[in-house]
A and B are shown apart, each in its own frame.
Chain A
Amino acid sequence: MARVPFMMPKPADLLQLRADALGRLAELGGSVHVFKGMISVTLPKEQVISALRAVRDMGYEMLTDVHGMDYLTYPGHKGKRFSVVYDVHDLSGAERLFLRVDLDDGESVTTCTGIWPGASFLERECFDMIGVVFDGHPDLRKILTPEDLDGHPHRKDYPLGETPTLFNDGRFLDPPSFRAGLTGRDPGLTGWKGGTREGVSATQVPGPRSRLTSNLDAGEAGEN
């Protein structure tokens, strides 16, 4: 029995690791996209495995997740319908990269179980939910859904199986059309986007300011 001490990683090392990895991925034809501190690199389909192997050898040693995205109904989406996202991070957990590959319906991608045997269940889940085929996977079967279920539930064209609600005045409420106003595809009845007026920060809503602040101080904000 030996206890292993915990060591905080050095920020300079992590920055170096990131710079090296992004440089290598750029050589492999990756395009970088950053959103809220999250670095995603989209790679050509042929280079995914060599890219995963390269970042693993550099220090992104752990694979967290392999999951699929279906952009069929995403507003303004151009390009291929599916994406597979590989989520890798280093052993300290502080440095993380998202490698992505775009696929069309019917396209397959090579499995990464040769690099991480633990990708097996993750790829099986992706296959089950989105329908992406991983070439060379040793045991590509459905994992979560029943064997007699046709289709891949996380595809956006998979029906939800809801029944329209009948009200007693003979009016029907159709769930999909009811929800349409809540998606980004439809502005809804008023086009409200949850924001306040331009230039007015939300904490400055007109109202009894003295009561607002005194109640905030007393810790009662949020009670309804």
Chain B
Amino acid sequence: MATKVPAPAQDQGQNLGAFETKRMRINVGPQHPSTHGVLRLVVDLEGERIRALRPHVGYLHTGFEKTMENRTYHQCVTYSNRMDYVNGFAHDLAYMVAVEHLMGARVPIRAQRIRVILNELNRIASHLVFFGTTLLDMGALTPFFYTMREREKLMDIFENVCGVRMNYGYFRVGGLRQDVPEEFVPLVRDFLKTFPAYLGQYDTLFMGNDILEARTRGVGVLTRQQAIDLCLTGPSLRASGVPLDFRKTAPYSGYDEYDFDVPCYDDGDIWARLQVRMDEMHESLRIVQQAVDRLEPGPTIDPDRRISLPPRWELEDSMEAVIFHFKLVTEGFHPPKGEVYVPTESARGELGYYIASDGGSMPYRVKVRAPSLANLQSLEVSSIGGLFADMVINIASFDPVLGDVDK
């Protein structure tokens, strides 16, 4: 392994006489704060060093995919954001772009911009949770309160838009459930004004901290080739030197209109994984700023009556509108036969919905390519040979959300 931690000195055991190190098997989790959910690890230790590690997942398996196969496309909106509850808008958006691609829906510009704003704000919120909990695992209690304070402002924006703080369900096939309230733009502008100062604070407080550098530099290293072979995606892959970002190279929801950079480092250690996410928050702010500046009044949902409900006022004097409304509510729409997949970039990595349609109004098969499950495999390679205490921050540095792992 490429970790830079020195190997245990051989003579120490001899000096201690009868002291010997035996391989010991330790169970970590599933219910422990440092495992970020219900992740169970079986770790083989020799002294403090990890010799083998096996993740056990599935404690949160809810069968979302199977449930979605037995609901109409519209009803599935309820399920998509509940998988990754920290970054719900990304799941909503990934599901929507796949269904819209299948249906050939034309999403109005305003809806796309609002989606991008919410998705990027949610990315910031997710990274704030990441920083809070990762530093908590290192023993620093204060950053958690700092990051949660800012996240609370974002939660207020989300609550203002869709009425809930976590499981949003605000996007619809073809656009949005409704236009944003009047206070939305002032709230976002206010956040854009205040947050850069806090971000600078985080930069000095977290990344400029000597203790953090000492704990994370050269720890849990994944080389570029290892990261590729282990199917790692997202910020963790970019920390290993692969500048892959689907917002740039496979743009969806109008991401190609915005000017932003893809932070990428070739260190591959925990420090790089933190730094990439810190830089990403700056880039997300840039995207939000551009999107808010370009936000213009207009429709927020595709007026195509095959997929979107007619507005309430139209029901009063149009018989056809009533029929469309009734059919959409009772049956939903019928996409053409075929299979689609649209990759998106969530806060954790590549996220995509592989949707197979049989021509009915329920998806024939939904396969969620969730980033956390594949990313979890890198934990084994990057932890072996290192210290047990480093493994705890190593888990956090891959930012797994167990709802996303287990689906």
**A residues lining the B interface (CB < 8 Å):** 1-9, 35-36, 38, 40, 61-65, 67, 69-70, 74-75, 85, 87, 89, 91-94, 96, 98, 116-122, 125, 129, 142-146, 153-154, 158, 160, 179, 181-186, 188, 190, 192-196, 202-203, 205-208, 211-212, 215-224
Contacts and interface: CB of A to CB of B under 8 A. Distances in A.
28 contacts: A9-B249, A38-B339, A38-B340, A62-B228, A62-B231, A64-B374, A65-B367, A93-B250, A93-B350, A116-B230, A118-B377, A122-B231, A144-B57, A144-B406, A154-B65, A160-B70, A182-B332, A194-B334, A195-B306, A196-B306, A202-B306, A206-B318, A216-B303, A217-B298, A221-B303, A222-B176, A222-B311, A224-B178
Contacts of A64: 231, 233, 343, 350, 352, 369, 374
Contacts of B339: 35, 38, 40
B177 to A, nearest CB: 7
A121 B243 contact: no
A154 B66 contact: yes
Given A182-B362, A203-B303, A208-B314, A224 B374 contact: no
Contacts of B303: 202-203, 212, 216, 221
B304 interface: yes
Contacts of A203: 303-305
B331 A182 contact: yes
Main secondary structure of the interface of A (DSSP, over half): loop
B306 A118 contact: no
B309 to A, nearest CB: 5
Contacts of B333: 194
Interface of B: 57-58, 61, 63, 65-66, 70, 72, 101-102, 110, 172, 175-179, 228-233, 238, 241-246, 248-250, 261-267, 271-272, 275, 297-301, 303-314, 317-318, 320-321, 324, 327-328, 331-334, 337-341, 343, 350, 352, 354, 356-362, 364-365, 367, 369, 373-374, 376-378, 406-407
Contacts of A9: 249
Nearest to B111: A222
Given A125-B373, A179-B70, A1 B267 contact: yes
A92 B358 contact: no
Contacts of A145: 58, 61
B358 A183 contact: yes
Nearest to B318: A207
A220 B243 contact: no
A194 to B, nearest CB: 4
Contact of A208 (B102, B312, B317, B331): B317
A87 to B, nearest CB: 7
A44 B123 CA distance: 42
A206 B333 CA distance: 20
Given A144-B61, A212-B314, A63 B231 contact: yes
Nearest to B65: A154
A47 B285 CA distance: 47
B243 A6 contact: yes
Contact of A216 (B266, B299, B377, B407): B299
Given A2-B265, A4-B266, A211-B314, 4 more contacts: A75-B359, A92-B244, A186-B360, A218-B297
A107 B93 CA distance: 36
For B177, B250, B332, which residue has the most chain A Cβ atoms within 10 angstroms? B250
A194 B103 CA distance: 11
For B231, B261, B310, B332, which residue has the most chain A Cβ atoms within 10 angstroms? B231
Nearest to A218: B297
B380 to A, nearest CB: 10
A46 B253 CA distance: 40
A215 B311 contact: yes
A220 B179 contact: yes
A182 B248 contact: no
Contact of A207 (B58, B320, B334): B320
A61 to B, nearest CB: 6
A131 to B, nearest CB: 14
B178 A223 contact: yes
Nearest to A3: B265
Contact of A194 (B301, B306, B311, B314): B306
A148 to B, nearest CB: 12
Given A144-B57, A183-B358, A222-B300, A194 B307 contact: yes
A145 B360 CA distance: 28
A129 B367 CA distance: 11
B266 to A, nearest CB: 5
B245 A121 contact: no
Nearest to B326: A192
A224 B74 CA distance: 15
Nearest to A206: B320
A87 B341 contact: yes
